Copies of this chain bind each other. A is one copy, B any other.
Amino acid sequence: MTAMTAPLRRTALVLLCAATAATAAAAQAPDSISHLIGGEPFRQARAFIKADYERFVRELIALNEIPAPPFKEERRARAYLAMLKENGLTDVEMDQEGNVMGVRRGSGGAPMLAVLAHLDTVFPEGTDVKVRREGTRLIAPGIGDDTRALALMLSMIRAMNAAKLATASDILFVGNVGEEGEGDLRGVKYLLRSGKYKDRIKLFLAIDGGDQGGITRGGVGSKRYRVTFKGPGGHSYGAFGLVNPAYAMAASMAKLSDVQVPSAPRTTYNVGVVSGGTSVNSIPSEVSMDVDIRSESCAELKKVDETFLGIVKSSVADENRARSTREGSITADPKVIGERPCGETPMSAPILKTTVAAVQAFGLTPSFGIGSTDSNIPMSLGIPALTIGRGGPGGRAHSPDEWTDVEPKGVIQSIEIALAIVLAVAGAR
């Protein structure tokens, strides 16, 4: 999960607006959830999960020790593919983007549910991914985010099989690529826009949060540009007076820095990287800047995006007016280098009501966040989607001393909760 869950204070506002609906949902759903959790099959599943604990830990360590840097998830993907197959899924395969997946058939009485954990970590090639153990803590880059979810998914599948839990939905279990950073959600984009199940997946659960009380129901949208400004260049002294692309870029940055954005819905922009030019005594022929725009609101994102593109255009025009274009003019090419569509799953959506009920059934208090996760894609496509927790406690995600706690009770409960959510959303009885 990319670290961007909105502070609770802010999401509380969102909650207030939707409080009635949520309460109504929570008031309705518990019955069937209680029924599910109280039933004999689920009891058997719980017993299985308990017995499966050592294997969960073993698999978590084994998976973590297969490096999965962005765009280089293949080794871990192949290993995970084999594990999905071993656990009895059908149609186990790797798609063209590198996602691995398999199906657990349902009765067909409900649309397909996709359940995902992402294979990739933020850590570059060469990072030491060996797992260290201190008491009940496992410490290693990626151990929580999101390797723990990969291991959880395997234990969950085994429990479903052991307890012969039937669902109405076919469930597609996916270990997906490209969730982190420059991966730009490429795995899920492929799955839902081009993959063979793109028209079948109608429900979506990404297991990619920490605490299972926290439910990510909104996707922060983002748009990223590398804007390249070009001009004729020339000698700083001999050709002084010619247009300079660095000035057009500077004006763009300066004007962008003056743009006012709302703090709720949270909306941001950033110039993160600048580069270009050949020497101090040459007018640059090319400079570029990397810009990141984000918002919890699709409308605000669009507004800032358009404002920004207008700023670039006017800054280029201004520079072409301010200095000589006799050797050539300044041009700007804003290339999209990242796009995470925004979206949200409404508080009234059945998938959310069901998930809230399941979380509450285990005594947790649900809280709702807006983040940037694989769920952004289905949300933007109108597919009901949530990102749920993998359990914990854990911390220091995206740092070399990332950790996750595997004290047995916590692990077992986290798999139970995830299982309850998946079963409830998939229409188990």
Rounded to whole Å, the gap between the CB of A74 and the closest CB of chain B is 24
Interchain CB contact under 8 A, A254 and B257: no
Using known A-B contacts A4-B238, A236-B294, A290-B277, determine if residue A272 contacts B254 with beta carbons closer than 8 Å.
no
Complex CA–CA separation, A275 to B269 (angstroms)? 19
Interchain CB contact under 8 A, A281 and B271: no
Q: Is A96 an interface residue (CB 8 A)?
A: no
Interface residues of A in 149-165 (CB under 8 A from B): none
Using Cβ atoms and an 8 Å threshold, which residues of chain B touch A291?
Answer: 280
Which one, B237, B280, B294, B322, contacts A337 given CB within 8 A?
B280
Q: Is A251 an interface residue (CB 8 A)?
A: yes
Using Cβ atoms and an 8 Å threshold, which residues of chain B touch A372?
Answer: 237
Complex CA–CA separation, A3 to B319 (angstroms)? 26
Using Cβ atoms and an 8 Å threshold, which residues of chain B touch A284?
Answer: 271-274
Using Cβ atoms and an 8 Å threshold, which residues of chain B touch A280?
Answer: 224, 226, 270, 272-273, 290-292, 337-338
Contact with B along A2-13 (1 / 0, CB 8 A): 011000000000
Interchain CB contact under 8 A, A244 and B220: no
Nearest B residue to A283 via CB reads B270
Interface centre among A235, A272, A292, A322 (most CB of B within 10 A): A272
Interchain CB contact under 8 A, A276 and B273: yes
Complex CA–CA separation, A283 to B222 (angstroms)? 15
Using Cβ atoms and an 8 Å threshold, which residues of chain B touch A257?
Answer: 244, 247, 250-251, 319, 322
Rounded to whole Å, the gap between the CB of A343 and the closest CB of chain B is 17
Q: Is A246 an interface residue (CB 8 A)?
A: yes
Using known A-B contacts A4-B237, A257-B250, determine if residue A277 contacts B274 with beta carbons closer than 8 Å.
yes
Complex CA–CA separation, A125 to B257 (angstroms)? 42
Nearest B residue to A279 via CB reads B272
Q: Is A181 an interface residue (CB 8 A)?
A: yes
Using Cβ atoms and an 8 Å threshold, which residues of chain B touch A292?
Answer: 236-237, 280-281
Using Cβ atoms and an 8 Å threshold, which residues of chain B touch A224?
Answer: 280-281
Using Cβ atoms and an 8 Å threshold, which residues of chain B touch A21?
Answer: none
Using Cβ atoms and an 8 Å threshold, which residues of chain B touch A222?
Answer: 237
Contact with B along A220-232 (1 / 0, CB 8 A): 1010101000000
Using Cβ atoms and an 8 Å threshold, which residues of chain B touch A266?
Answer: 237, 240
Contact with B along A239-258 (1 / 0, CB 8 A): 01100101101111110010
